[in-house]
């Protein structure tokens, strides 16, 4: 795996993890009862993006390290995923 492939793989893990972490512990305007006129009641009031970004970075790094270990060690190869026997 090259450096570019590793960076792209990390970016994919980071964004997927961020999209999972983003809705956790969000307090909306409707939850707090302070709806600003002209906005939706589901608009976030307290979101904690900085903390979520750091959590995402840590979790994505762990997932990325596991994926890199699997790829570089050869535990799972492309031929293992060839269920239709096209790479004979």
User: Could you read off the pLDDT tens digit of each residue along the chain, which spans 88 residues?
Assistant: 789 999 999 999 999 999 999 988 888 888 888 888 888 888 887 788 899 999 999 999 999 999 999 988 988 888 888 888 888 7
Cβ neighbours, 10 Å, residue 35? 15
- pLDDT tens sequence across 45-62: 778 889 999 999 999 999
Q: Residue 67: inside a domain, yes or no? A: yes
Read off the pTM: 0.76
Per the listing, tokens 């790094």 go with 61
Number of domains in the chain: 1
Q: Residue 13: inside a domain, yes or no? A: yes
CB 35 within 8 A of CB 41: yes
Q: Residue 86: inside a domain, yes or no? A: no
Q: Residue 87: inside a domain, yes or no? A: no
Q: Residue 59: inside a domain, yes or no? A: yes
Q: Which domain holds residue 14?
A: 3-81
Q: Residue 88: inside a domain, yes or no? A: no
């Amino acid at each position: 795996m090259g450096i570019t492939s590793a960076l792209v793989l990390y970016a994919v893990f980071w964004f997927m993890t961020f999209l999972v972490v983003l809705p956790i512990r969000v307090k909306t305007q409707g939850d707090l009862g302070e709806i600003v006129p002209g906005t939706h009641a589901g608009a976030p009031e307290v979101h904690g993006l900085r903390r979520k970004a750091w959590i995402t970075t840590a979790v994505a790094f762990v997932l990325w390290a596991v994926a890199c270990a699997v790829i570089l060690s050869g535990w799972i190869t492309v031929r293992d995923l060839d269920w239709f026997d096209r790479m004979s």
